[in-house]
Amino acid sequence: MPGEIFKIVDLNENDIVELKVEDGKIIIKPAKKHRSLKERRAEYKGDYILHEWDTGISVGKEIGG
């Protein structure tokens, strides 16, 4: 029975989960997975346009001020 529940909720052994109590019920859900830069780039479907931005005047020992 527990194996069937894991399949239904798409959990595997050693997956990290979040536990919380809400209205007297225990809620178990998959923890948000940290995605790598490679995974994020693979999901991106738009065009990236590089823009420069102004960070203000130099106030210390910044390079190129």
**Which tens digits make up the pLDDT trace of 25-35?**
999 888 887 78
* Amino acid code (one letter) for 27: I
| pTM of the complete model | 0.40
Structural domain span for residue 35: 2-43
Percentage of the chain modeled with pLDDT above 70: 95
Closest C-alpha among 65, 45, 43 to residue 55: 65
Residue at 49 is within a domain: no
Residue at 36 is within a domain: yes
Residue at 58 is within a domain: no
Closest C-alpha among 28, 32, 33, 31 to residue 2: 28
Task: Report CA dihedral (12, 14, 15, 18) to the nearest 10 degrees.
Answer: 120
Residue at 55 is within a domain: no
Distance (Å, rounded) from C-alpha 56 to C-alpha 65? 10
